[in-house]
Amino acid sequence: MQRPKASLASLFLLSLSVLVMEVCLTRVFSVLSWHHFAYLIISLALLGFGAAGSYLTVARRFADGEVQPARLGHFAWLFAVSTVLSVALASRIRFYPADIVLYRDYSNVLSLLILYVVVGIPFFFAGVCIGRLVAMAGDRVNQFYFADLLGAGVGALAGLVTINHLGAVTGIFLAATLGALAACILGAGGVRWRRWAYGLTLLITAGLTALGTRIELLPLHYPPSKDMFRQENRVEYSRWHVVGKIDVQRPYEGYWSFGGALARRYTAPPPAVQGIYQDGAAPTGIMLVEDDPKNVEILGEYLQGVAYTVQPVGTALVIGVGGGIDALIAMHHGAEKIVGVDLNPVTVHAVKDRYRQRCPALWRDGRFEMVVAEGRHYLTRTGQRFDVIQLSGVDTFTALSSGAYALSENFLYTREAMRDYWDHLTADGILSFSRWLFDPPRETLRLITTQTAMLAEAGVTQPQQHVVVLAGPAYKGRSPWAETLLKRSPFTAEQVAALIRWAEDRGFEVLYDPYHERANAFNAFLCADARGRAAFVTDYTFNIEPTTDDDPFFFQFYRWKSVFGLATGKSGLAGSTGGYGITRVPLGFLILAFSLAQMLVLSLVFILAPLWRGARLRSSGRGRLGVFVYFAALGLGFMFIEIALLQKFSVFVGGPVYSMAITLASILVFSGVGSYIARVFRRRPGRGLALVITALLIATAAEMLLLKHAMPHLMGLALPMRWLVTAASLLPLGLFMGMPFPTGL
């Protein structure tokens, strides 16, 4: 190979740019659609690279080895150009997935297919260039595979950093710039007009990147299913972050529920509120209050304040504090010290710094502390116990407004999470959750089944004595909010009587308490014995099995028979009411089904069909088929391990975003190092492969044991130390994961 150093540098840059683009696209699609649809980007990247592999296999000029690195610069250039064009086109394609279910508008299925093609094209061009560079490496394949994985690992980290500092759209322009730079390096020895084209593209994309840091070059518009639909002109402050794009609106007056119900008896003019949205949904807000919170009447009329009426409260922890309304409610009810935890640092910056003077009441007497952290992380690193731990609708709107989050994990509502909360309550402390009620109940009921499973592990023999459930009124056709109280000690009759009086005065309803029988699902479940509870969960219309850290899909309520039954009208969901319209159907599953069908068709058309037409599989015999199966199994196994580790490390490293950064980058970089080390097996690859596979199996088993037995005891470490522990634990596994591919070649 001519100019191997230039080829290695280009390979590194191109792999880096692909990962930056991929990470940034997930954020862009979280804004344009919903978080779960964003993960289709990963499938699109794999589809593009798979199609590139087929193209390289059947295209004669590639198969015969005629194309030199200088000519490959053309494909790197096409990647750069198509990256900019694809995001510009994708942001203008009308794709409203909710309309498929709500209005039977199947044109959105076609829109989804068009999106696949538009977004997949850049990955195809990058795949052709990367694949051919690796194929041409010859004896240097270990070095080239190392450069490829190293670039991808750095790109995984760089993508997240880029979003925080440049924004997702500008990050895509940066990816195009890196692709254009790779084209310039590869094409340095090519014809003059191509060198000029590559250089001009580099200047244009670099200019777009620089300009994008100053102005919004490509405005993204929210779909009708999001709260921010057609409200972009009301935004006063906007900023990207990997956790979510934050938009802060100008102040206005309105009766906000803030993840809980507001008593109907309150009819006085509300205080002005400054709305805060994440990815165009999940609304919270800063209530513009100057007076002492105890004198603000509306703060005593929220359902989520019920936990503070049971007994005097010294300390309170609010997880997902958002704009601070729950902290104001705690202050109104006399809490002496309140800690508010929020995962998004942009939200914390907006409330704590940028708009601090909009709500002086929060900061007047020093009772309120606001912290950037994941809720469970904060608990594990503090030895403090709290009288009240409050979670008001955390993830509610983002999860339920689309129905799409049914396919996303959430570690705040698992059995292990409940145990973390339970262990950090005082002797009479209360854990309080605000969640949608729905009819039939599903979310609040699943919360209780999960809590009951935790209580059984904790040795509590009468869980029904520790629970109270209340509900607020329905609002604008949406489901009522429900408040679930879990008390460390049993509720007394006097406490329940006081709760009932407080609720009735405000028009709230008590759905369950330990001293009164009522005919509803909560009583049917909690008043049954262990066998009866198990039967209740099995026979229930929705999936309300307790969720765990191994199966953290809290918002996945639907059984497959319900999904398939939608087409026949026998889904059992006809009487389901509450929430938004699209929360009454399993939209996430339906879109998954459409996506899977389309991906299969596209894979057949762009990957398998070209191979079949080129007679590569039919005429090449068992040897070729064995090679195909070997490398397909490698890719599949790599993805299985990677996805499992991303989920397993999520709680330990501080959330899914940081898991993607630390875990994915570590695996890719260490795999690259492993591929470089695998040169030692060049003389006896068969024996080396046997040793590597054996070592990989041992390393995988060791990693699973480490995750199960060691990680829980290390949760008290500071977050940076946990990141180091995560990277170190992945070193052996990553090294061995990188060896089979170059050794097989």
The confidence score (pLDDT) of residue 301 equals 95
Best CA proximity match to 331, nearest among 352, 313, 357: 313
Which is more confident, 632 or 210?
210
The confidence score (pLDDT) of residue 29 equals 86
Best CA proximity match to 338, nearest among 291, 390, 382: 390
The confidence score (pLDDT) of residue 59 equals 78
What does the mean pLDDT of the chain come to?
87
Sign of CA dihedral 533, 535, 540, 546: positive
Rounded distance between C-alpha atoms, residue 221 and residue 226, angstroms? 10
Q: Cβ distance 211 to 90 under 8 Å?
A: no
Q: Which residue has the tokens 């260490």?
A: 670
Confidence band (pLDDT; 50, 70, 90) for 112?
A: confident
Q: What is the pLDDT of residues 347-369, one digit of tens each?
A: 999 999 999 999 999 999 999 99
The confidence score (pLDDT) of residue 620 equals 52
C-alpha distances out from residue 287 to 227, 283, 370, Å: 18, 13, 16
Q: What is the pLDDT of residues 130-182, one digit of tens each?
A: 999 988 888 888 899 999 999 999 999 999 999 999 999 999 999 999 999 99
Rounded distance between C-alpha atoms, residue 480 and residue 472, angstroms? 5
The confidence score (pLDDT) of residue 397 equals 44
* 377 half-sphere exposure, CB direction, 13 A CA radius: 24
Could you tell me where the DSSP H helices lie in 59-97?
60-63, 69-90
Element (H, E) at 368: strand 368-372
Q: What is the mean pLDDT of residues 8-17?
A: 96
The confidence score (pLDDT) of residue 571 equals 44
Q: What is the pLDDT of residues 560-606, one digit of tens each?
A: 666 555 444 444 444 444 444 444 556 666 677 777 788 888 888 88
The confidence score (pLDDT) of residue 564 equals 55
Beta 386-392 vs 425-436: how paired, if at all? parallel
The confidence score (pLDDT) of residue 651 equals 82
Confidence band (pLDDT; 50, 70, 90) for 426?
A: very high
Q: What is the pLDDT of residues 22-40, one digit of tens each?
A: 999 988 988 888 666 656 7
* Other CB atoms within 10 A of residue 521 CB: 20
Beta 337-342 vs 315-319: how paired, if at all? parallel
Torsion angles phi and psi, residue 616, rounded to 5 = -75, -35
Best CA proximity match to 4, nearest among 149, 144, 179, 127: 144
E-assigned strand segments in 399-480? 425-436, 467-471
Choice among 58-67, 184-193, 407-416, 606-615 with the minimum mean pLDDT: 58-67
The DSSP output letter for 188 is G
Judged against a pLDDT cut of 80, whether residue 315 lies above it is answered with: yes
C-alpha distances out from residue 312 to 149, 319, 513, Å: 57, 20, 20
Rounded distance between C-alpha atoms, residue 152 and residue 22, angstroms? 10
Pick one of 3.40.50, 1.20.1250, 1.20.120, 1.10.10 as the CATH number of 1-224+588-618: 1.20.1250
The confidence score (pLDDT) of residue 385 equals 96
Q: What is the mean pLDDT of residues 217-230?
A: 88
* 214 half-sphere exposure, CB direction, 13 A CA radius: 5
Element (H, E) at 52: helix 40-58
Q: What is the pLDDT of residues 376-418, one digit of tens each?
A: 989 988 889 999 999 998 874 443 333 444 456 788 999 999 9
Rounded distance between C-alpha atoms, residue 637 and residue 630, angstroms? 11
By percentage, how much of the chain surpasses pLDDT 90? 52
Q: What is the mean pLDDT of residues 708-717?
A: 83
Where b means 16+ CB within 10 Å and e means fewer, 21-48 reads bbbbbbbbbbbbbbbbbbbbbebbbbbb
Confidence band (pLDDT; 50, 70, 90) for 43?
A: confident
The confidence score (pLDDT) of residue 356 equals 94
Where b means 16+ CB within 10 Å and e means fewer, 276-302 reads bbbbbbbbbbbbbbeeebeebebbbbb
The DSSP output letter for 546 is P
The neighbouring-strand residues paired with 482 are 435, 471
The confidence score (pLDDT) of residue 67 equals 60
The confidence score (pLDDT) of residue 396 equals 47
Confidence band (pLDDT; 50, 70, 90) for 741?
A: confident
pTM to 2 decimal places: 0.88
The confidence score (pLDDT) of residue 38 equals 59
Q: What is the mean pLDDT of residues 682-711?
A: 87
Amino acid letter at 423?
D
By percentage, how much of the chain surpasses pLDDT 70? 89
For the chain, give percent helix, strand, coil, nearest 5: 60, 10, 30
Confidence band (pLDDT; 50, 70, 90) for 621?
A: low
Amino acid letter at 576?
S
Amino acid letter at 744?
G
Q: What is the mean pLDDT of residues 646-651?
A: 83
Q: Which residue has the tokens 């309140």?
A: 338
All structural domains of the chain with their residue ranges = 1-224+588-618, 272-539, 620-745
Sign of CA dihedral 636, 637, 642, 647: positive
C-alpha distances out from residue 655 to 260, 392, 448, 459, Å: 25, 19, 24, 29
Q: Which residue has the tokens 């899909």?
A: 553
The confidence score (pLDDT) of residue 477 equals 62
Q: What is the pLDDT of residues 484-537, one digit of tens each?
A: 999 999 999 999 999 999 999 999 999 999 999 999 999 999 999 999 999 999
Rounded distance between C-alpha atoms, residue 347 and residue 611, angstroms? 50
Query: What value, to the nearest 5°, has the Cα angle with vertex 438 and ends 541 and 498?
Result: 120
Torsion angles phi and psi, residue 726, rounded to 5 = -60, -50
Rounded distance between C-alpha atoms, residue 9 and residue 550, angstroms? 40
Sign of CA dihedral 655, 658, 662, 663: positive
The confidence score (pLDDT) of residue 69 equals 66
CA dihedral 411, 414, 417, 423 (to 10 degrees): 180
The confidence score (pLDDT) of residue 95 equals 82
- CATH superfamily, region 272-539: Vaccinia Virus protein VP39 (3.40.50.150)
Q: What is the mean pLDDT of residues 296-309?
A: 95
C-alpha distances out from residue 136 to 35, 76, 145, 253, Å: 38, 16, 11, 65
Choice among 30-34, 72-76, 268-272, 688-692 with the minimum mean pLDDT: 30-34
DSSP 98-117: HHHHHS--THHHHHHHHHHH
